[in-house]
């Protein structure tokens, strides 16, 4: 590999390679050799292609690419020039692909992508819904090039940004371009890279470092791994541009040791770039020198935190330390040298900004969050994998258009973004445009790009428990709020999910969470309570059900609920009885029944029943059903309604007219109004429309019995002055209790001094509990 002595030589080489590599007419298979596709047999597929093409004398170029995104459908490959995309490719499909597509120039239908079993197959990659709304900047070369071949990177325009910077831009100009692009850090907090670069550049001292954070500790995240494995030169080029801009001489990539392929491909790329004179001393014959190294971390989540990462690089234990000094300041970075730390994806965007200009970058995404973001889309979604989308795309577009919707066409419940530091966003925010600020505004965060989709079968308390158990076990233990606080929160959560939750537990979680956020030293502790706090905010009802009803609506938590066998569904296979280790299932002459006094709620029968005839219900529902013979559906409706408030009832009234008179009006006027409008009460207000009392049919009857002559009597003489008022937030159950105890039939609803509505006894009866009819009939 000949060393390039100047930018011109690089330009000429790039132009030559662009013409010679990836010729448009050549037969080519771009086979994904990312970690997921390798695990599902990509190399066996390649072997088969080699064998078949040798046997039939076909000259087939095979490009072993990095991750193409749709990992769940691997091994995937793209066949050119016919432009056919194959998924879930098996070695035995290769001869068919060869004869159909290479010899016959048509797709082999069985190997194509389909939305579902019955839908038409999609031959072209860009027509597959998963790829349709994506926009690739950071992943621009993933799936196109062989990451171990620098010629491939150069052929698709690689190192053009570095060439442009070294030949025609000063370091300040490079920095200004990144600053203008408002490139925000993709590692979590979204801090503008340009501002960080300026801090490090302005720090005193002649030795400076550029560090890339490839720790990627979020469970399920693999954005950075895919870039390091699939396009390592884009990271090297981005880091070199940063070094040039801030005057740094050394670069370190910090990678977790669970990423061996990333480390291997990065070392290959570094060696190739050094051999070509694109890294090392006097790059492209200029005064700019930049030497790269890789440090492997032991794989602790806390080592992604900037100060812990620096400690780990230095060979110390990965303990965070207080700031200042920041990494960009003397004494703060690795071995005390001012260091610029950015995420892998952040650096990978830099070559595009320099080569194509900040205006191009600013033209994508939103005003405050330009560009794109890579997400690892996982969970209960049909298409999982890596997606790169323009900022501002809605959650719905990502989950339903790209992700294909919810597995099994179940109900969407929530999406967890930002990994263990993020939060759960409910269905009401599906139209939220995704960017750094919007996600924070609903109590979650972008984080590094983890996106876990949750469906109706997910227990939100269990989800909070899962993420908190991760952060609790990853806490470095240095500071008590994080070490002890997260473990206390976890104990409470485990108590709740095992059916031993106590009244007050929700408040305890809220108090502890807020204190841990405020008093922890580093971002791990500061963000650890987020999944718990956001699930309490949006799914409090589920916490209450676990605590008060001892019930988990998703049937996820063991030790909760009452187990019953639905006799209409049961076909008496007896598998539940066989599964029960506690002899709680009894076989009768014509049915199986569960003895709830012997049942330990272990869920074995629930799992064993092949037709889901074993049901888990709320204890009190089962009693109502069995003792009072009220059907389950009715109980559920009653329950749901009883949890609503008066504001909900008001919203259901299609038209709303409020009638009010002053105390000086005559009683006969009130009677006329009641008669004309078919109402049984009128509100009495003063000149400021402030509620003073009510005049009801009952007041009139009482007045008559006392011998009143209404022709001249004023309302104030017979009106009820002590009126009980409610707010729209008064729970329906509380209103029912007032109706029952105080024997009132009209409930004025106020907001401060303003009258906003009137709920009648009849509204409650028709809206809420059929039982209240019995109760009320007794009373009136
Ligand atoms: C507990 C914890 C873990 C983190 N893990 C990562 C990580 O794996 N990758 C990453 O880039 N940033 C991670 N960060 C954020 C980094 O501290 C730092 O802000 C980031 O690397 C800066 O790069 P950026 O500005 O390009 O995002 C983590 C922060 C905390 C508190
Ligand atoms: S907040 Fe947690 S992880 Fe961070 S320093 Fe304190 S104990 Fe360690
Ligand atoms: S939940 Fe467990 S203990 Fe209860 S009936 Fe089913 S198998 Fe038996
Ligand atoms: S590893 Fe092949 S598509 Fe991701």
Does the C-beta of 185 come closer than 6 Å to ligand 1?
Answer: yes
Q: Residue 775 has what pLDDT?
A: 43
Which one-letter DSSP state was computed for residue 336? G
What is the token pair recorded at 313? Answer: 């690089």
Dihedral, CA of residue 332, residue 335, residue 337 and residue 338, to nearest 10: -40
- Mean pLDDT of the chain, nearest integer: 92
By mean pLDDT, which of 51-65, 334-348, 440-454 is the weakest?
A: 440-454
What is the token pair recorded at 692? Answer: 């003073």
691 alpha carbon – ligand 4 mean position (Å): 68
Q: Is residue 738 predicted with pLDDT exceeding 80?
A: no
706 alpha carbon – ligand 1 mean position (Å): 80
Over pLDDT 70: what percentage of the chain? 96
More confident residue, 115 or 305: 305
Average pLDDT in the 339-347 region?
98
Helix, strand, coil in percent for the chain, rounding step 5: 45, 15, 40
Confidence of residue 219 (pLDDT cuts 50, 70, 90): confident
Residue found by looking up tokens 């108590």 in the block: 495
414 alpha carbon – ligand 1 mean position (Å): 25
Q: Residue 656 has what pLDDT?
A: 66
Q: Residue 773 has what pLDDT?
A: 46
Average pLDDT in the 726-741 region?
77
102 alpha carbon – ligand 2 mean position (Å): 58
Output the ligand 4 site: residues, CB below 6 A. 32, 34-37, 67-71, 74, 76, 385
Q: Is residue 106 predicted with pLDDT exceeding 70?
A: yes
Q: Residue 730 has what pLDDT?
A: 81
Average pLDDT in the 411-439 region?
93
Q: Is residue 61 predicted with pLDDT exceeding 70?
A: yes
Are 455 and 410 within 8 A, CB to CB? yes
3-class secondary structure, 720:
strand
70 alpha carbon – ligand 4 mean position (Å): 6
Q: Is residue 766 predicted with pLDDT exceeding 80?
A: no
Q: Which DSSP string do the residues of 465-502 spell out, in sequence order?
A: HHHHHHHHHH----SHHHHHHHHHHHHHHHHHHTT---
Whole-angstrom distance, CA of residue 103 vs CA of residue 10: 39
For 544-578, what is the HEC assignment?
Answer: HHHHHHCCCCCCCCCCCCEEEECCCCCCCCCHHHH
Q: Tell me the pLDDT tens digit for each residue of 275-320.
A: 999 999 999 999 999 999 999 998 899 999 999 999 999 999 999 9
Q: Residue 413 has what pLDDT?
A: 96
Classify residue 174 as exposed, middle or buried by CB count within 10 Å of its CB (0-12, 13-18, 19+). Answer: buried
Report the 10 Å Cβ neighbour count for 335.
Answer: 12
Phi, psi of 322 (to 5 degrees): -65, 150
Q: Is residue 768 predicted with pLDDT exceeding 70?
A: no
Are 554 and 456 within 8 A, CB to CB? yes
Name the closest-CA residue to atom 23, ligand 1.
Answer: 342
* Residue to probe by mutation, ligand 4, list 45, 67, 262, most atoms within 8 Å of CB: 67
Which of the ligands is closest to the CA of residue 321? 2
Q: Is residue 634 predicted with pLDDT exceeding 80?
A: no
With both helix axes pointing from N to C terminus, report the angle between 160-168 and 344-356 in degrees, rounded to the nearest 10: 60
Residue ranges of alpha helices (H) inside 643-731 are 646-652, 667-677, 697-705, 715-718
Average pLDDT in the 385-400 region?
96
Ligand 4 atom closest to 73 (CA): 3
Q: Residue 642 has what pLDDT?
A: 65
Q: Whole-angstrom distance between the N-terminal and C-terminal Cα of the chain?
A: 98
Over pLDDT 90: what percentage of the chain? 75
Confidence of residue 648 (pLDDT cuts 50, 70, 90): confident
3-class secondary structure, 343:
strand
Q: Is residue 676 predicted with pLDDT exceeding 60?
A: yes
Average pLDDT in the 84-98 region?
96
């Amino acid at each position: 590999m000949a060393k390039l002595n100047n930018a011109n030589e690089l330009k000429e080489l790039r132009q030559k390679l662009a013409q010679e590599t990836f010729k448009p007419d050549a037969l080519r298979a771009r086979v994904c050799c990312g970690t997921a596709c390798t695990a599902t047999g990509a190399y066996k597929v390649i072997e088969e292609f080699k064998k078949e093409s040798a046997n039939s004398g076909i000259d087939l170029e095979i490009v072993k690419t990095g991750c193409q995104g749709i990992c769940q459908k691997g091994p995937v490959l793209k066949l050119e020039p016919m432009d056919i995309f194959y998924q879930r490719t098996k070695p035995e499909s290769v001869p068919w692909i060869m004869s159909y597509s290479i010899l016959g120039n048509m797709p082999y239908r069985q190997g194509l992508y389909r939305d579902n079993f019955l839908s038409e197959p999609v031959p072209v990659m860009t027509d597959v819904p998963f790829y349709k709304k994506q926009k690739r900047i950071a992943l621009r070369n993933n799936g196109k090039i062989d990451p171990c071949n620098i010629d491939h990177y150069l052929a698709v325009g690689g190192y053009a940004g570095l060439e442009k910077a070294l030949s025609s831009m000063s370091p300040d100009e490079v920095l200004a371009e990144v600053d203008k692009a408002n490139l925000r850090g993709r590692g979590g907090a979204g801090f503008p890279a340009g501002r960080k670069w300026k801090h490090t550049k302005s720090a005193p001292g002649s030795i400076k470092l550029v560090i890339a954070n490839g720790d990627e500790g979020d469970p399920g995240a693999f954005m950075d791994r895919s870039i390091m494995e699939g396009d390592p030169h884009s990271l090297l080029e981005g880091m070199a541009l940063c070094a040039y801009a801030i005057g740094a001489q050394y670069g370190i990539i910090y990678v977790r040791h669970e990423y061996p392929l990333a480390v291997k491909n990065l070392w290959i790329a570094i060696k190739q770039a050094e051999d070509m004179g694109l890294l090392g001393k006097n790059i492209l014959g200029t005064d700019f020198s930049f030497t790269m190294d890789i440090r492997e971390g032991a794989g602790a989540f806390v080592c992604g935190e900037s100060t812990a990462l620096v400690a780990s690089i230095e060979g110390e234990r990965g303990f965070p330390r207080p700031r200042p000094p920041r990494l960009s300041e003397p004494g703060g970075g690795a071995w005390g040298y001012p260091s610029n730390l950015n995420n892998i994806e952040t650096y990978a965007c830099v070559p595009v900004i320099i080569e194509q200009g900040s205006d191009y970058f600013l033209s994508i995404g939103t005003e405050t969050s330009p560009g794109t973001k890579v997400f690892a889309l996982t969970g209960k979604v049909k298409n999982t994998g890596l997606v790169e989308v323009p900022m501002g795309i809605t959650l719905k577009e990502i989950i339903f258009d790209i992700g294909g919707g919810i597995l099994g066409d179940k109900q969407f419940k929530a999406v967890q973004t930002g990994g263990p530091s993020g939060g759960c966003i409910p269905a009401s925010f599906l139209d939220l445009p995704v960017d750094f600020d919007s996600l924070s505004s609903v109590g979650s965060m972008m984080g590094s790009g983890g996106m876990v989709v949750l469906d109706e079968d997910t227990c939100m308390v269990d989800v909070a428990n899962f993420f908190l158990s991760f952060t609790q076990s990853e806490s470095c233990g240095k500071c008590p709020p994080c070490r002890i606080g997260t473990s206390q929160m976890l104990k409470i959560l485990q108590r709740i999910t095992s059916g031993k939750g106590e009244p007050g537990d929700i408040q305890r979680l809220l108090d502890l969470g807020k204190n841990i956020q405020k008093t922890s030293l580093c971002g791990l502790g500061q963000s650890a309570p987020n999944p718990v706090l956001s699930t309490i905010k949006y799914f409090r009802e589920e916490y209450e059900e676990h605590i008060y009803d001892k019930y988990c609506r998703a049937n996820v938590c063991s030790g909760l609920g009452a187990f019953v066998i639905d006799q209409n569904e049961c076909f008496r296979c007896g598998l539940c009885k066989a599964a029960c280790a506690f002899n709680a299932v009894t076989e009768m002459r014509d049915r199986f029944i569960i003895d709830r006094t012997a049942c330990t709620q272990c869920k074995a029968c629930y799992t064993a029943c092949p037709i889901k005839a074993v049901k888990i219900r709320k204890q009190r529902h089962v009693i109502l059903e069995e003792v009072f013979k009220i059907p389950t559906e009715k109980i559920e409706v009653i329950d749901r309604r009883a949890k609503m408030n008066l504001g909900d009832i008001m919203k259901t009234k299609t038209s709303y007219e409020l009638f009010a008179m002053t105390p000086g009006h005559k009683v006969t006027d009130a009677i006329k109004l009641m008669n004309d409008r078919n109402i049984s009460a009128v509100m009495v207000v003063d000149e400021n429309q402030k509620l003073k009392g009510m005049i009801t049919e009952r007041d009139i009857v009482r007045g008559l019995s006392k011998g009143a002559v209404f022709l001249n009597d004023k309302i104030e003489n017979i009106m009820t002055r002590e009126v009980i008022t409610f707010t729209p937030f008064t729970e329906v159950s509380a209103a029912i209790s007032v109706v029952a105890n105080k024997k009132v039939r009209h409930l004025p609803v106020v907001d401060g001094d303003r009258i906003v509505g009137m709920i009648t006894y009849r509204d409650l009866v028709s809206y809420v509990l059929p039982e209240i009819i019995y109760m009320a009939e007794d009373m009136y």
